[in-house]
């Protein structure tokens, strides 16, 4: 059944139409019926171009990168939607019961907890042990700086040009003066962080939160924030690098986030699932409505801020 669903999704993505225009002298105004046609045509242009084969092949490489990331993004979004069947609540009516899939979510949560206890948590503890506080802070700053680019585009899509300008300024300052973002020079200059993600963009556009869902390996999300997560992941800077670099960055990000949440483990009381679900929902609500996340755990160091758990 899973294989059939995956094949169906691949077929649907293959059928998605897109429009492409070649550079001057290469069939201007040509319309392509699908992403696959666009890739085949760019490959043919690379092999047969009588004018400038180097430019044609460079264009083919750009098409391949674009098509690959677009296909991956569409596939994950469609798989996400078909798996959790949230279409009835998506963008229509508010969901009164925020966790209608609790039995399934609890099973996934148990799987995630087992994986965390035996793999991720020991790695995160080792990471904190070997990393000096200043180095750990630098890694966190670097990761946050990378996602400033996403914040710029999401701010623009939300109709907040001032926020986009401020966030873009932070990225430029920290990249240029903070050694690639290892040091948060922008905050010292009075340019405060104001993150924005695609989940917040969907909120601005009027989409409802949708049911709460616990994703394998990823953790707590809602239909809206989960969609935003996949979109932001596949449109971030690492996604446009080679896959080894991208997954190295994302692995480092997961370990760094988990290391910063170790102190929160002692604050969890009662049912861990309910505590984490409620904390996540409250944090997301504050983020999408207020536009800025501040850490609610008083024991955390200043600056240890993340949009999601």
Q: What is the pLDDT of residues 116-170, one digit of tens each?
A: 999 999 999 999 999 999 999 999 999 999 999 999 999 999 999 999 999 999 9
**pLDDT: which is higher, 172 or 75:** 172
Which residues touch 171 (CB under 8 Å, ≥6 apart)? 145, 148, 149, 152, 181
Distance CA 128, CA 15 (A): 47
**pTM of the complete model:** 0.67
pLDDT for position 97: 83
The average pLDDT across 77-88 equals 49
pLDDT for position 304: 46
- CB 203, CB 88: distance < 8 Å: no
Average pLDDT of the chain to the nearest whole number: 77
3-state secondary structure of 31: coil
The average pLDDT across 247-269 equals 93
The average pLDDT across 240-253 equals 93
Distance CA 113, CA 217 (A): 9
pLDDT for position 66: 53
Distance CA 309, CA 303 (A): 15
- The crossing angle, in degrees rounded to 10, of helices 102-115 and 272-290 is 100
pLDDT for position 121: 96
Q: What's the first-to-final CA gap in the chain, in angstroms?
A: 31
- pLDDT score of 292 more than 90: no
pLDDT for position 290: 78
3-state secondary structure of 221: strand
């Amino acid at each position: 059944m899973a294989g059939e669903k995956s094949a169906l999704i691949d077929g649907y993505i293959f059928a998605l139409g897109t429009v492409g225009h070649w550079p001057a002298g290469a069939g201007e105004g040509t319309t392509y019926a699908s992403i696959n046609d666009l890739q085949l045509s760019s490959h043919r242009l690379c092999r047969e171009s009588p004018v400038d084969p180097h430019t044609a092949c460079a264009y083919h490489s750009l098409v391949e990168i674009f098509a690959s990331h677009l296909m991956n993004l569409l596939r994950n979004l469609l798989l996400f939607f078909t798996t959790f069947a949230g279409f009835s609540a998506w963008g229509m009516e508010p969901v009164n019961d925020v966790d209608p899939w609790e039995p399934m979510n609890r099973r996934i949560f148990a799987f995630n907890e087992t994986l965390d206890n035996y793999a991720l948590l020991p790695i995160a503890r080792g990471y904190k042990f070997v990393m000096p506080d200043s180095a750990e802070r630098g890694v966190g700053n670097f990761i946050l700086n990378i996602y400033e680019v996403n914040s710029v585009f999401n701010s623009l899509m939300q109709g907040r040009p001032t926020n986009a300008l401020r966030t873009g300024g932070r990225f430029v300052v920290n990249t240029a003066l903070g050694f690639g973002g290892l040091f948060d020079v922008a905050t010292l200059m009075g340019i405060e962080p104001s993150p924005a993600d695609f989940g917040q963009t969907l909120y601005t556009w009027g989409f409802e939160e949708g049911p709460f869902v616990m994703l394998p390996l990823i953790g707590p999300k809602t239909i809206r924030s989960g969609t935003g997560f996949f979109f932001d992941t596949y449109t971030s800077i690492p996604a446009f690098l080679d896959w080894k670099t991208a997954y190295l960055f994302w692995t480092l990000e997961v370990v760094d986030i988990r290391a910063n949440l170790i102190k929160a483990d002692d604050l969890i009381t009662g049912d861990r699932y309910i505590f984490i679900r409620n904390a996540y929902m409250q944090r997301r609500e504050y983020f999408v409505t207020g536009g800025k996340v501040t850490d609610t755990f008083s024991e955390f160091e200043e600056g240890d801020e993340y949009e999601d758990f």
